[in-house]
């Protein structure tokens, strides 16, 4: 672990230990924790932002998922000129009716959901138009996911839909919501890996990302996972990121 970047004595504040931290390369730390309390993970992202203000050439990549929770961003995707998007805005006054905790946060996008069957990546890094712009970072996260799934035999996944996300036909597999402070990104991508029937039932109460709940799918619903696991996906995804982000 790069001790000059993260103070080990502070990890316990965020529900972490040194076993959750590994070094991908000289510039990049990986933080991996599954079923991580959302509040602790969010606070840790903000801690990482302060670290990168002092160490702008470093990156912190967080791979995790959370207990069932709803988060609401700054607002739904806006249509381009001449474009029509049939999205339904969430009224935050209805948050008390939701069956799981609700967090109003600073990322882009509308109301979305998290559960332990997701793969979530939060890249904390300084953007640079010459080396890694916001659009290229988003494309990379989608393309790393597509590459892993294609290697597993799942084809036809793309991010060419006019609505930001990872799609299989008309079904949405992953959502993207980014926040930027002082050119440093946080929040990120959530990919539905396992089906969560209980959460699917809860989604009928809302319109996640402004879309009908029936729009959402998971890797498990699209292919036979056999012996493939969320941990396998995480390792393969991080391998591609490590190779691409030197």
Question: What is the Cβ-side half-sphere exposure of residue 104, based on CA atoms within 13 angstroms?
Answer: 9
Cα 93 to Cα 157: distance, rounded to the nearest angstrom: 35
Is 209 a known active-site residue? Answer: yes
Cα 118 to Cα 240: distance, rounded to the nearest angstrom: 19
Q: Catalytic residue, from 48, 63, 64, 209: name it.
A: 209
Cα 231 to Cα 229: distance, rounded to the nearest angstrom: 5
* Residue corresponding to tokens 């799918």: 217
Cα 182 to Cα 25: distance, rounded to the nearest angstrom: 24
Residue 165 near residue 188, CB atoms below 8 Å: no
Residue 47 near residue 186, CB atoms below 8 Å: no
Q: Which residues are catalytic?
A: 209
């Amino acid at each position: 672990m790069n001790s000059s970047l993260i103070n080990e004595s502070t990890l316990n504040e965020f529900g972490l230990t040194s076993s959750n931290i590994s070094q991908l390369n000289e510039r990049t730390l990986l933080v991996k924790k599954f079923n991580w309390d959302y509040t602790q993970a969010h606070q840790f992202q903000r801690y990482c932002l302060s670290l990168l203000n002092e160490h702008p050439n470093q990156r912190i990549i967080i791979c995790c998922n959370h207990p069932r929770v709803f988060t609401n961003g700054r607002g739904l995707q806006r249509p381009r000129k001449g474009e029509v998007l049939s999205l339904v805005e969430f009224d935050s006054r209805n948050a008390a009716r939701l069956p799981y905790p609700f967090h109003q946060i600073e990322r882009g996008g509308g109301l979305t959901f998290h559960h332990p069957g997701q793969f979530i990546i939060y890249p904390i890094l300084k953007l640079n138009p010459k080396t890694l712009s916001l659009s290229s970072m988003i494309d990379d996260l989608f393309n790393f996911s597509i590459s892993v799934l294609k290697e597993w035999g799942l084809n036809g996944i793309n991010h060419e839909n006019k609505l930001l996300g990872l799609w299989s036909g008309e079904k949405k597999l992953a959502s993207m919501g980014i926040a930027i402070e002082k050119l440093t990104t946080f929040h990120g991508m959530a990919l539905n890996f396992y089906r969560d029937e209980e959460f699917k039932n809860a989604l009928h109460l809302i319109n996640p990302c402004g879309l009908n709940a029936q729009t959402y799918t998971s890797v498990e619903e699209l292919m036979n996972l056999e012996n493939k696991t969320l941990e396998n996906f995480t390792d393969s995804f991080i391998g591609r990121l490590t190779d691409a982000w030197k």
